[in-house]
Every structure is written in structure tokens, then in C-alpha cells.
């Protein structure tokens, strides 16, 4: 379903400079969209057009298929549904306290006092700033201000959230937190649009990318499509994303194959498998193309995980009964990633999981979970890039626990399952304190078969 | 980060107490202090207020002394002049300064002490307010006192932007200093002029951005102010009444007493 759409949109500044030229875009509901282009390419102007602040010189903007009308009542509706977070938080936060700033939007929507309060509490909790609600904005750090700005928009419960350069001026951890937050909102159904000139971010995070250069749309598509076209990137004065660049260099040297587009480091690592060929004696009656089960390797022969099942595909049979096979190693009882939903949190349970589940690596996602862990003295090995690092650890046969809450649980679960499916390396994924339970903890038996997903 | 009084007030534990109670205490102190006829009551008020500010309000003692010292300097100069040049009655002290006779008389000293004590009590009351009640708490009080909404909204915006522009001014000044903008008097004048004009232009720009920001969150000409409900606790009420009663008793019994 298309939620926002522009048709031959054009905008010229009063002094005659063109900011947007003939722009046609269709943004689908529930997607993560990135507008990528260098500074001054017209991204910010486009955003102001998308929430009705600027009126296009030509063309139109449509919300749910209905063209924008620019009378005050329709504008209110649009601005309620399309929230915009500015690049500079100081431009956006104007009330004397955090609470009052977040309450500004809901109060303008004419909600009752109780409802405004509920909206504000909820929004502040989501961004992890409930404790700072009575602080004045000038006592906050840059990352905190950004989160207040986002909470101010979230409190109005918009369908689309637009963020102009959300990560500018943030440190890496602060940036990760903001991206975690955006993923969580997206998981609950919000459509998220960001502008950025960070190609790595756009490549890794978004579902769909628009390349903008000199007020014009010069390319669009999934990140894998867009960022492969080097000519297009050159035209937009952008570079290729690092992981993709590394992968292409590796591929050129014949160390990887398959025309992949790895987005994260685990995905990149997973492509580093050259064709593994071996001479083996085969029984008679085996044909080319058959699969053979060659047994289980362990100890120093198993490189990926404690036990590896070896399957082989016969490529060519020699007359003397020997054959060339392509080996496929499959980890059994690799490590695993266990998620823990901190919405129903008990310290004892976590202690028990850590001990009985032999967890060696603990991470937390989301402000709330990090605060909880800090309070109760749970040692965290990692607090940013948690999913990627946990996958890497699981690949090395370690067991990881991720503390997280709300929509992030499902988001992480989805991400990790996707990885397992794509890579073919199996390791256990589960949520500890949900109804379906986790086989893992009940079967601490050592037999490898029981740990298959 | 803490360089203005408001920052200390924000950190004070008394910030989260009922604003009206604090205002009542301050007003009571000011009125009784000014109408007292002997210096004892105002000194008592000053002592109580200082105790509350430092011990209960956790204001740093050194800072408090420094704050008091500035206005006390003025008060003491005035008081010395009053002591020497007014009043009648028997002489307590007299000497000649370059052939000019100077003397302190009993009435004059009495008056001087009264003036000193009154100004001290007033200062302590006001410092109590400004060190325990940050501006953001007072907006609700302003609202309840039926000031026009536009005045309150403006003051809220001004309060927020004071800090934005303060930051801006400091960073501009820093940028000027590192490029030797303040190396001599002429350049300093020039630099400060540039700073002022730049700030002025930035405020205009910021105004535009503010309008945008408010508009994109459905601004309809009204900023709602949410007053946090802070009930007065029994203990607070008890302490306040004890203070009021003891001050009034002292006021009654010392009204005809002179200490000189």
C-alpha cells in the first residue's frame, strides 16, 4: 500500500533557485526508506514538502492517494500523520522542560490532560528518558536532545516519521541507539523515512533507497541494486558502502563467489567460502549430482562449530571409482542466540539462564534493558551492534544472551532467523521467557542432534 | 555546566516541593523583616532562611557566602554612613578625622543595625527562592496568577532560547578568540560588535526555524502549560507553621527592645 506519493513535484525558492525538479516517488507503508544525496541536494526541502510546510510550485503530494490540500484543517491532519524530526535538535526543542516539549504536540491535537500525559509518558519511556522529564533541554547531551525531539514526534503517533540526518553529531553508541529506536518503531508499523549522506547507513538499514543529486531523482531501488551501480554513485558524488566494496574486491580475487550483497559483517564473513573440492572414494552406483553424507567431524577438524556434519555433492566420477565432490560443512550444535524479553524481567531468572545455559556473551539492546542490566550488575559484553556481534559469536560456537524488550525482540528474532536461513549455518535462536519456551534450556543433553532448529 | 543560579536551583532537592508554600515563606519573611522595629527578628529570619537554603536545599556554602557578599558590600557602606550621620542621644564613639569631628550616636547605631538586618533578611529570603526554585517551576505560578497567556508563552520561549543563544555567543566568542579577535582594545571592540550583529541575525533565523518547528507539530496559537501537582506534606506544613509562629512571637516580644 502506498502511503506517500509525489507526482511531478517541483519546488522553486522565492529567489528563483530550483530545489526540487520533477520528482516522482512512491513510498510504501511500513517500509524503511532512505534518501541519499550529498549536502544541498534538496533532501531537506523535499521533507518540508512532504509534511505540507512548503507548498509545491508544480505537481502534487498525495497521502493515502489523496492530494494534499493546503487549508489549515487539512494541514493539521497531514502534520499529525507525517511527523518530521529536524537535523538540529535545538531548532526543534523549544519548551523549557523535556516533558513540556514532548507534550506540545499531543496538547495541540486537543487531547484531554490524562491522554496527553499517557502519550508523553509512553513516548519518553520508549526513548528511555523518563527520568529526565523535568530537566531543561540545555542540560541534555546531543544524543539525549535528539531522543527528546524524536519523542516529541512519537507522542503524536504519526503514521510516517521523517528524520532529516538523524545521526549527524552523534557518537557511534548514540547513533546505534537511535537506529535501534527507529527499527523498533518500524516494527510496530510506522513508516520511516530518513535522509542521509552516510551510504553505509542507507545500505545497511533501509528497505528502499532514493538517490538524489542536484534537485533530481537519479536512481531508486533496493539498496543492493542501487549501490552496485558505480556510475550512478559517481554521478551522485557518493562512495560505495564499505562492506560491499570489500566484498567486490574479494570476489574479484576469486575468494568468494555468488554475486552477493553482504550488508553486515557476519554476512560478509559468510561469503568468504571458496568452493571446497575433494577427491573421495565412492561406492558404485553413485551418480553425478548425488549427495553423500560423509559423517561428522569434530575437534580441530571442525572449524565453524564444535560438530560439523559433512555433506558432499558429487561433481564428477572418475573411472577408477574415485570422484570429485564439493564439500558442504554444516555446523551442528553451533552456538546459539537466546533472547530475553525484559518486559517481564526477573533477575533470578536471568542469573539462572546465564548459569545453566552456559552463556558466555551477554548483550543488551534498547535503553530500558541497558539500564536494567546496569542497575542489577549484569555484566554486558556488548551494547551496540548487538545482533551482528552475537551472530559472530554464535558462529564461533559460543552461546549468547541478548536482553531486550518490546518490538525489538521480534525484530532481533527475525534478523537472526533470516541470517540462519540465508547462510545455511544453523544455530539455535529462541526467546527465553515467552510462552513457546526454549528447547535449549530444557535439553542440556550433549547429543548434537537435539540442538537442531 | 553549573554557572548560573538557575542550575543550582534545578539540582536542589527543594525544587520538588510545593511552589506556593515556598512563595508564602518568602513573602512572609520579606513582610515581617521589613515591618520589624528591632533588628533581632530580621536576623532570626536571615538565619532560618540561610539554614534552609544550605542544609535542606543543599546549596554550596561557599557559593552562598559569595552571593551574600556582593549586596552586603553595598549594605555595609550605607550602614556605616547612617551610623555616623544620623540620630541623636548619647555618644558611643567619637573621633576627629582631619579636623572634622565624627561620632556614632546610640540612635544612629540602632537605625544602622536595623537597616543592615532588614536588608540581610530580604536577601536571604530572595536567595532562598532563587536557589531552590528554578524558572521552569515558576511558569506555573505565573500562569496561576492570571498573567496573560501570551506573556507566559513568550517568557517560556525566551527562557529556552536564552541558553541556545548563550551557547551560540560563547562559541562565536571562542572562534574569535582563537583567531586573536581580542588581542587589543580596538580589535575587542570590533569583535564584540561583530558578535552582536551575528547574534542578531541568528535570532531572526532561529525565529523562522521556531515557527517551522511549532507549525509542524500542529501549533494552533496556544501552548499548554502542565502544572505538576505537588501536595504539601504534613511535615512541611508543620515546619512552616513552627517557623511562622516563632518569628511572630519574636516579633511581638522584641518590638520595643533596643539592643544598644
User: DSSP letters of A325-371?
Assistant: EEEEEEEES--EEEEEETTS--HHHHHHHHHHTT--EEEE-SHHHHH
pLDDT of residue A418: 83
For residues A118-144, average pLDDT: 88
For residues A36-57, average pLDDT: 88
- pLDDT of A148 > 90? The answer is yes
pLDDT of residue B116: 92
Q: What is the pLDDT of residues A316-365, one digit of tens each?
A: 888 777 888 877 766 665 578 888 888 887 888 888 888 777 788 888 88
Closest-CA residue to A451 (of A378, A391, A383, A397): A397
Measured between CA atoms, how close is B1 to chain A, in angstroms? 8
CB contact under 8 A, B223 and A86: no
pLDDT of residue A443: 41
Q: What is the pLDDT of residues B100-120, one digit of tens each?
A: 777 788 888 888 889 999 999
CB contact under 8 A, B216 and A79: yes
How many other β-carbons are positioned within 10 Å of the β-carbon of residue B194? 13
For residue A232, give every residue at least 6 positions away whose Cβ sits within 8 Å of its Cβ, in sequence order, or none: A211, A218, A219, A226
CB contact under 8 A, A96 and B163: no
State how far the alpha carbon of B91 is from the alpha carbons of A74, A156, B131, B142, B256, in Å: 84, 76, 42, 51, 21
Residues of chain A neighbouring B158 (CB-CB closer than 8 A): none
Taking a C-beta distance cutoff of 8 angstroms, is the pair A349, A138 a contact? no
- pLDDT of B48 > 70? The answer is yes
Which ranges constitute the DSSP H helices of A97-157?
Answer: 98-108, 113-127, 142-154
pLDDT of residue A445: 37
Burial status of residue B31 (CB atoms within 10 A of its CB: 0-12, 13-18, 19 or more): exposed
CB contact under 8 A, B218 and A108: yes
CB contact under 8 A, A91 and B139: no
Q: Per-residue confidence at A304, pLDDT binned at 50, 70, 90? A: low
Q: What is the pLDDT of residues A368-404, one digit of tens each?
A: 788 888 888 888 888 888 888 888 888 777 788 888 8
Report the largest interatomic distance among the alpha carbons of chain B, rounded to a whole angstrom: 77
Cell 497567556 sits on residue: B149
Q: Which of B11-25, B87-101, B222-236 has the lowest mean pLDDT?
A: B87-101
Q: Per-residue confidence at B16, pLDDT binned at 50, 70, 90? A: confident
CB contact under 8 A, A53 and B212: yes
Taking a C-beta distance cutoff of 8 angstroms, is the pair A51, A79 a contact? yes
Q: What is the pLDDT of residues B209-230, one digit of tens each?
A: 888 888 888 887 777 777 777 8
Q: For residues A53 and A47, give the distance between their C-alpha atoms in angstroms, rounded to a whole number.
A: 9
For residues A62-74, average pLDDT: 88
Which one of B159, B206, B224 has the shortest CB-CB distance to A96? B159
DSSP B189-231: HHHHHHHHHHHHHHHHHHHHHHHHHHHTTT--S-----PPP-P
Mutate to test the interface with A, among B217, B221, B230 (most CBs of A within 10 A): B217
pLDDT of residue A77: 87
What one-character DSSP code corresponds to residue A385?
S
- pLDDT of B128 > 90? The answer is yes
CB contact under 8 A, A84 and B216: yes
How many other β-carbons are positioned within 10 Å of the β-carbon of residue B179? 10
Q: Which of A70-84, A339-353, B14-28 has the lowest mean pLDDT?
A: A339-353
pLDDT of residue B260: 65
Chain B residue with the nearest C-alpha to that of A155: B217
Residues of chain B neighbouring A111 (CB-CB closer than 8 A): none
Q: Which of A31-35, A174-178, B84-88, B148-152 has the lowest mean pLDDT?
A: B84-88
- pLDDT of B25 > 90? The answer is yes
Taking a C-beta distance cutoff of 8 angstroms, is the pair A127, A79 a contact? no
Q: What is the pLDDT of residues A254-266, one digit of tens each?
A: 777 667 788 888 8
pLDDT of residue A120: 92
Mean pLDDT of chain A, nearest integer: 83
Q: For residues A37 and A96, give the distance between their C-alpha atoms in angstroms, rounded to a whole number.
A: 35
pLDDT of residue B1: 44
Measured between CA atoms, how close is A159 to chain B, in angstroms? 14
Q: For residues B62 and B179, give the distance between their C-alpha atoms in angstroms, rounded to a whole number.
A: 36
CB contact under 8 A, A96 and B225: no
More confident residue, B59 or A396: B59
Interface of A with B (CB under 8 A): 48, 51, 53, 76, 79-80, 83-84, 86, 90-97, 99-100, 103-105, 107-109, 113, 116-117, 134-139, 152-153, 156
State how far the alpha carbon of A432 is from the alpha carbons of A149, A330, A350, A445, B212, in Å: 34, 25, 9, 18, 46
Mutate to test the interface with B, among A138, A148, A162 (most CBs of B within 10 A): A138
Q: What is the pLDDT of residues A289-301, one digit of tens each?
A: 777 777 766 666 6
Could you give the percent of chain A with pLDDT greater than 70? 90
Grid coordinates in use for A48? 518540508
For residue B61, give every residue at least 6 positions away whose Cβ sits within 8 Å of its Cβ, in sequence order, or none: B54
pLDDT of residue A441: 46
Q: For residues A363 and A342, give the distance between their C-alpha atoms in angstroms, rounded to a whole number.
A: 12
State how far the alpha carbon of B33 is from the alpha carbons of A437, B28, B115, in Å: 71, 8, 10
pLDDT of residue A102: 92
The verdict on B226 touching A (C-beta cutoff 8 Å) is yes
More confident residue, A386 or A447: A386
CB contact under 8 A, B224 and A103: yes
Phi–psi pair at B259, nearest 5 degrees: -95, -5
What one-character DSSP code corresponds to residue A139?
G
CB contact under 8 A, A138 and B167: yes
The β-bridge relationship of strands A208-213 and A32-36 is parallel
Q: Per-residue confidence at A209, pLDDT binned at 50, 70, 90? A: very high
Q: Per-residue confidence at B45, pLDDT binned at 50, 70, 90? A: very high
Helix (H, G, I), strand (E, B) or coil at B60: coil
- pLDDT of A442 > 70? The answer is no
The verdict on B225 touching A (C-beta cutoff 8 Å) is yes
For residues A104-111, average pLDDT: 87
pLDDT of residue B26: 93
Measured between CA atoms, how close is B163 to chain A, in angstroms? 6
For residues A242-265, average pLDDT: 82
For residues A227-234, average pLDDT: 88
- pLDDT of B146 > 90? The answer is no
Grid coordinates in use for A230? 558505480
pLDDT of residue A453: 33
Mutate to test the interface with A, among B218, B219, B226, B229 (most CBs of A within 10 A): B218
Could you give the percent of chain B with pLDDT greater than 90? 30
Which one of A80, A99, A136 has the shortest CB-CB distance to B10? A136
Mutate to test the interface with B, among A82, A108, A117 (most CBs of B within 10 A): A108
Q: Per-residue confidence at B49, pLDDT binned at 50, 70, 90? A: very high
Q: For residues B112 and B123, give the distance between their C-alpha atoms in angstroms, rounded to a whole number.
A: 17
Q: For residues A121 and A127, give the distance between their C-alpha atoms in angstroms, rounded to a whole number.
A: 10
Q: What is the pLDDT of residues B175-197, one digit of tens each?
A: 898 888 888 899 999 999 999 99
Q: For residues B136 and A101, give the distance between their C-alpha atoms in angstroms, rounded to a whole number.
A: 12
- pLDDT of A40 > 90? The answer is no
Residues 125-164 of B with CB under 8 A from A: 134-136, 139, 156-157, 159-161, 163-164
pLDDT of residue A163: 93
- pLDDT of A448 > 50? The answer is no
Grid coordinates in use for A343? 518486559
pLDDT of residue A396: 73
For residues A231-250, average pLDDT: 88
Q: Which of A2-11, A277-286, A410-419 has the lowest mean pLDDT?
A: A277-286
Cell 532561529 sits on residue: B206
The verdict on B76 touching A (C-beta cutoff 8 Å) is no
CB contact under 8 A, A53 and B209: no
Q: For residues A255 and A273, give the distance between their C-alpha atoms in angstroms, rounded to a whole number.
A: 7
Closest-CA residue to B52 (of B125, B136, B161): B125
Could you give the percent of chain A with pLDDT greater than 90? 19
pLDDT of residue A303: 61
pLDDT of residue A415: 84
Measured between CA atoms, how close is B260 to chain A, in angstroms? 50
More confident residue, A309 or A352: A352
Amino acid at each position: 500500500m502506498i502511503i506517500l506519493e509525489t507526482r511531478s513535484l517541483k519546488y522553486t525558492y522565492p529567489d528563483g533557485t530550483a530545489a526540487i525538479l520533477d520528482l516522482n516517488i512512491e513510498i510504501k507503508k511500513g517500509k524503511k526508506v532512505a534518501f541519499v544525496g550529498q549536502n544541498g541536494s534538496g533532501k531537506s526541502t523535499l521533507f518540508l514538502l512532504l509534511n505540507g510546510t512548503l507548498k509545491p510550485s508544480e505537481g502534487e503530494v498525495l497521502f493515502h492517494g489523496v492530494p494534499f490540500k493546503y487549508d489549515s484543517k487539512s494541514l493539521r491532519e497531514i502534520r499529525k500523520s507525517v511527523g518530521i524530526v529536524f537535523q538540529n535538535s535545538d531548532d526543534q526543542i523549544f519548551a523549557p522542560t523535556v516533558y513540556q516539549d514532548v507534550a506540545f504536540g499531543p496538547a495541540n491535537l486537543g487531547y484531554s490532560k490524562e491522554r496527553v500525559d499517557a502519550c508523553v509518558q509512553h513516548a519518553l519511556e520508549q526513548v528511555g528518558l523518563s527520568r529526565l522529564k523535568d530537566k531543561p533541554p540545555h542540560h541534555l547531551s546531543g544524543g539525549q536532545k535528539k531522543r527528546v525531539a524524536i519523542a516529541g514526534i512519537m507522542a503524536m503517533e504519526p503514521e510516517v516519521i521523517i528524520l532529516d540526518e538523524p545521526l549527524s553529531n552523534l557518537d557511534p553508541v548514540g547513533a546505534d541507539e537511535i537506529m535501534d529506536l527507529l527499527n523498533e518503531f518500524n516494527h510496530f508499523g510506522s513508516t520511516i523515512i530518513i535522509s542521509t549522506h552516510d551510504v553505509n547507513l542507507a545500505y545497511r538499514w533501509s528497505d528502499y533507497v532514493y538517490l538524489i543529486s542536484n534537485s533530481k531523482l537519479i536512481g531508486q531501488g533496493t539498496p543492493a541494486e542501487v549501490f552496485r551501480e558505480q556510475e550512478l554513485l559517481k554521478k551522485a558524488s557518493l562512495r560505495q558502502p564499505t562492506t560491499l566494496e570489500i566484498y567486490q574486491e574479494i570476489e574479484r580475487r576469486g575468494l568468494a563467489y555468488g554475486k552477493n550483497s553482504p550488508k553486515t559483517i557476519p554476512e560478509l564473513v559468510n561469503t568468504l567460502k571458496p568452493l571446497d573440492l575433494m577427491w573421495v572414494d565412492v561406492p558404485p552406483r553413485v551418480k553425478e549430482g548425488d549427495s553423500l553424507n560423509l559423517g561428522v567431524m569434530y575437534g580441530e577438524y571442525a572449524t565453524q562449530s564444535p560438530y560439523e556434519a559433512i555433506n558432499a555433492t558429487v561433481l564428477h566420477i572418475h573411472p577408477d571409482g574415485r570422484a570429485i565432490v564439493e564439500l558442504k560443512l554444516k555446523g551442528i550444535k553451533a552456538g546459539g542466540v537466546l533472547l530475553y524479553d525484559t518486559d517481564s524481567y526477573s533477575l533470578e531468572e536471568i542469573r539462572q539462564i546465564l548459569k545453566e545455559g552456559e552463556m558466555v556473551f551477554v548483550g543488551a539492546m534498547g535503553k530500558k534493558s541497558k539500564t536494567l542490566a546496569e542497575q542489577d550488575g549484569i555484566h554486558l559484553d556488548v551494547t551496540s551492534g548487538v545482533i551482528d556481534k552475537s551472530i559472530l559469536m554464535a558462529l564461533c560456537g559460543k552461546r549468547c544472551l541478548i536482553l531486550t524488550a518490546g518490538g525489538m525482540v521480534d525484530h532481533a528474532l527475525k534478523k537472526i532467523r533470516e541470517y540462519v536461513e540465508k547462510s545455511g549455518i544453523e544455530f539455535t535462536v529462541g526467546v527465553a521467557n515467552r510462552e513457546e519456551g526454549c528447547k535449549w534450556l530444557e535439553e542440556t543433553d550433549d547429543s548434537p542432534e537435539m540442538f537442531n532448529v | 555546566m553549573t554557572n548560573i543560579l538557575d542550575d543550582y536551583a534545578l539540582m536542589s532537592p527543594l525544587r520538588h516541593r510545593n511552589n506556593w508554600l515556598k512563595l508564602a515563606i518568602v513573602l512572609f519573611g520579606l513582610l515581617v523583616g521589613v515591618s520589624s522595629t528591632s533588628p533581632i527578628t530580621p536576623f532570626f529570619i536571615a538565619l532560618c532562611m540561610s539554614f534552609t537554603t544550605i542544609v535542606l536545599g543543599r546549596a554550596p556554602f561557599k557559593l552562598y557566602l559569595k552571593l551574600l557578599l556582593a549586596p552586603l558590600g553595598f549594605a555595609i557602606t550605607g550602614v556605616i554612613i547612617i551610623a555616623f550621620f544620623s540620630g541623636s542621644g548619647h555618644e558611643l564613639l567619637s573621633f576627629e578625622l582631619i579636623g572634622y569631628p565624627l561620632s556614632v550616636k546610640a540612635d544612629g547605631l540602632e537605625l544602622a543595625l536595623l537597616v543592615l538586618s532588614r536588608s540581610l533578611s530580604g536577601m536571604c529570603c530572595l536567595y532562598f527562592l532563587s536557589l531552590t526554585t528554578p524558572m521552569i517551576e515558576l511558569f506555573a505560578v505565573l500562569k496561576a496568577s492570571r498573567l496573560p497567556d501570551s506573556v507566559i508563552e513568550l517568557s517560556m520561549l525566551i527562557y529556552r532560547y536564552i541558553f541556545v543563544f548563550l551557547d551560540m555567543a560563547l562559541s562565536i566568542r571562542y572562534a574569535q578568540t582563537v583567531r586573536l579577535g581580542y588581542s587589543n582594545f580596538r580589535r575587542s571592540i570590533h569583535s564584540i560588535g561583530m558578535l552582536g550583529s551575528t547574534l542578531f541575525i541568528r535570532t531572526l533565523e532561529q525565529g523562522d526555524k521556531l515557527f517551522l518547528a511549532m507549525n509542524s507539530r500542529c501549533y494552533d496559537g496556544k501552548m499548554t502549560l502542565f502544572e505538576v501537582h505537588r501536595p504539601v506534606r504534613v511535615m512541611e506544613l508543620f515546619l512552616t507553621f513552627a517557623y511562622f509562629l516563632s518569628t511572630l512571637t519574636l516579633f511581638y516580644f522584641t518590638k520595643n527592645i533596643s539592643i544598644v
